């Protein structure tokens, strides 16, 4: 019994610190005592005790915070005073300090001035909660606006498609949470000015908010992870893109753990931040190039899987290729609206061939992909204030008619062509003469017939 413990979903807003007392009293009556709250405030650990009625107090300690060590000289002096007042310290989480006392005892209240309590709440809990919400809103807003109009690459993965719906939902949810926090503080201010007591949230209301806000966040997160796993199953190399965020999260959590559990002063974390930054820089410059090289090598193939429309350098140049000097790369993908797409390239001697093929479920999606590829090629890349690899795109109505295409554009140098016909988009570049009739007939028959990849 003594060693028995369990983790439960916590999910309280820090502004609901008054409701936490009621919850802890209910848990104590059931035989569970709070032991600690997880770093991200979603889970709390309880240990088994004899069922009993206890008094709990959750106080706001203004000298605390997410990056402040739990056991500073100030916090230990504060807890010592609270214990002298009849309270037993349990644990802390950021600004919140948790205490309990026996039911038949008469401990001295830690906070007796509601005006002072309100000021502390405004300058600690509200600021801390809103900071996270504002950062999320800015990031979500930037990503959302940056992807309007719809970017074509979103149509190429399950995760991209589901994010079209999840991102606005998450944005609205974060806005509601921020609005709720602000309204709570404004109402408390109004009550103090009128000489009324601060409104204490009930346990029922706190639980409703937990279910609505955190339940919604959990559903969004689980849904997103499910679709990331689907994409990773179809394209295992996509996991590499999660490496940088994974390292960032790991280093961040490690840094926060050290700051909270090991450090004694805020200044102690500076040294760890510098070391962590150095470790990340070393990883980026050593581990990442090695991994990306391995990923690129994994795309190399000796032959293309059956069922994909492919042509070779030999077919285009009408010259036999030296197989021993030939390098092939093949990167397939799939999504609900683009069930077939791939990138294929061949390099042999001084000749090359690059193919990007997309087959969508509807022509409207093919139009988005066509426009996206054209715009990306035209805009190039931004690097150190300069635009590089941008190309001038031209239209050729005569060539469009010859190719029997719905849409067709080329680079001014005529070394890259983008074609859309119904629900198929094709981008070609390399050692290809697009004016050659035999080459044109080969491409049309190979890529724009009724061909479809066998699933």
pLDDT in tens, the chain (455 residues): 556 889 888 877 777 788 888 889 999 999 999 998 876 667 889 999 999 999 999 888 877 776 677 778 888 888 999 998 899 999 988 888 999 999 888 888 777 555 556 666 666 666 666 666 666 666 666 666 655 566 788 899 898 888 888 877 777 777 777 677 677 667 766 665 665 555 666 666 777 777 777 777 778 888 888 988 888 888 777 766 666 667 667 777 776 666 666 666 666 666 666 777 777 777 767 766 676 666 666 677 777 888 788 888 888 877 766 655 678 888 888 899 999 999 999 887 778 899 999 999 999 999 999 999 999 888 876 665 566 667 889 998 999 999 999 999 999 988 899 999 999 999 999 888 888 899 999 999 999 876 444 43
Long-range pairs of 180-189 with CB within 8 A, sequence gap ≥ 24: 180/13, 180/209, 180/213, 181/13, 181/15, 181/126, 181/129, 181/130, 181/133, 182/126, 182/130, 184/15, 185/15, 185/121, 185/122, 185/126, 188/118, 188/121, 189/118, 189/122
Q: How many residues does the chain have?
A: 455
How does strand 407-411 pair with strand 393-395?
Answer: antiparallel
With beta carbons less than 8 A apart as the criterion, state whether 259 and 272 touch: yes
Position 71 scores a pLDDT of: 78
Position 453 scores a pLDDT of: 43
Position 451 scores a pLDDT of: 44
Position 452 scores a pLDDT of: 43
pTM (two decimals):
0.68
């Amino acid at each position: 019994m003594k060693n028995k413990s369990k983790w439960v979903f916590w999910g309280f807003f820090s502004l609901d610190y008054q409701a936490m007392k009621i919850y802890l009293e209910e848990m104590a009556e059931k035989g569970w005592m709070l032991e600690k709250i997880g770093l991200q405030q979603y889970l709390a650990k309880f240990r088994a005790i004899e069922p009993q009625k206890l008094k709990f107090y959750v106080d706001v300690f203004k000298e605390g915070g997410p990056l402040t060590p739990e056991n500073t000289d100030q916090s230990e002096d504060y807890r010592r005073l609270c214990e002298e007042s009849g309270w037993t310290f349990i644990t802390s989480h950021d600004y919140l300090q948790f205490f309990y006392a026996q039911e038949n005892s008469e401990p001295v209240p830690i906070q007796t001035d509601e005006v002072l309590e309100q000021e502390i709440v405004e300058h600690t809990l509200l600021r801390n909660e809103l900071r996270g919400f504002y950062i999320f809103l800015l990031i979500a807003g930037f990503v959302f606006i940056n992807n309007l109009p719809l970017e074509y690459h979103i149509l190429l993965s399950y995760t991209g498609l589901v994010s079209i719906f999840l991102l606005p939902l998450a944005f609205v949810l974060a806005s509601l949470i921020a609005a709720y926090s602000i309204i709570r503080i404004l109402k408390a201010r109004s009550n103090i000015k009128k000489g009324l007591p601060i409104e204490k949230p009930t346990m029922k209301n706190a639980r409703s908010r937990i279910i609505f806000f955190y339940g919604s966040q959990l559903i969004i997160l689980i849904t997103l992870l499910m679709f990331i796993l689907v994409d990773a199953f179809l394209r295992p190399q996509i996991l590499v893109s999660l490496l940088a965020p994974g390292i960032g999260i790991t280093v961040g959590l490690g840094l926060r753990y050290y700051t909270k559990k090991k450090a004694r002063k805020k200044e102690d974390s500076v040294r760890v931040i510098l070391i962590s930054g150095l470790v990340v820089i070393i990883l980026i410059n050593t581990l990442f190039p090695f991994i990306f090289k391995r990923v690129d090598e994994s795309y190399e193939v000796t032959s293309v899987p059956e069922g994909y429309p492919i042509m070779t350098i030999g077919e285009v140049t009408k010259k036999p290729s030296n197989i021993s000097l030939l390098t092939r790369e093949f990167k397939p993908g799939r999504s609900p609206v683009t069930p077939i797409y791939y990138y294929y390239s061949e390099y042999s001697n001084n000749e090359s061939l690059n193919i990007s093929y997309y087959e969508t479920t509807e022509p409207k999606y093919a139009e988005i992909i066509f426009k996206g590829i054209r715009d990306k090629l035209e805009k190039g890349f931004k690097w150190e204030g300069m635009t590089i690899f941008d190309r001038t795109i031209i239209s050729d109505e005569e060539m469009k008619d010859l190719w029997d295409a719905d849409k067709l554009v080329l680079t001014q140098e005529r070394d890259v062509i983008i074609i859309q016909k119904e629900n198929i988009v094709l981008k070609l570049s390399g050692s290809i003469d697009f004016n050659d009739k035999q080459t044109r007939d080969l491409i049309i028959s190979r890529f724009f017939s009724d061909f479809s990849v066998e699933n």
